[in-house]
Amino acid sequence: MTDCLFCKIISGKIPAKKVYEDEKAFAFEDINPQAPTHVLIVPKKHVIGIDQATEADAELVGYCQLVAAKIARERKLEHGFRTVYNVGPDAGQTVFHLHLHLLGGRQMHWPPG
Ligand code: AMP
Ligand code: ZN
């Protein structure tokens, strides 16, 4: 999608600190990190968000979780980490290209804010 921030990051039109890439997914450092590790994992396919995803996107939705776990292993987040899909305004979703937050490197709080 031409007018999408994360599609532009995936295609290299907007710079980002790339963490991981394969044929299905792209991961980069969040520009406003909320933890020592804050990486966004996005499918290369433009999917708007979890609420708009269909069964055809099921593999991608889960695949992003596996990429997050791989990055967490590489960063030795053995004490734990959190993965989050924000959905809609109440959850603070601001970018409408599916993205999984990987947060780690500090104690997480529950319930989240
Ligand atoms: P969300 O609020 O769940 O939609 O998450 C969007 C995330 O994208 C936020 O954590 C932002 O800090 C992050 N973000 C926005 N613009 C950029 C950018 N150009 N590069 C990296 N991360 C970004
Ligand atoms: Zn997009």
**Short-list 42, 59, 38, CA closest to 7:** 42
In this structure, is residue 98 part of a structural domain? yes
What is the pTM for the complete model shown?
0.98
- How many structural domains are present in the chain? 1
- Decide: 104 and 72 in contact? Cβ < 8 Å: yes
Active-site positions read 99
**pLDDT, tens digit (0-9, with 9 covering 90-100), for 29-68:** 999 999 999 999 999 999 999 999 999 999 999 999 999 9
Tell me the residue type at 89: P
Q: Which residues line ligand 1 (CB under 6 A)?
A: 5, 14, 16, 28, 30-32, 40, 86, 92-95
**Would you state the structure tokens that stand for residue 55, as one six-digit string?**
């069964």
Smallest-distance ligand from the CA of 1:
2
* Boundaries of domain holding 15: 5-104
Residue 112 lies in a domain: no
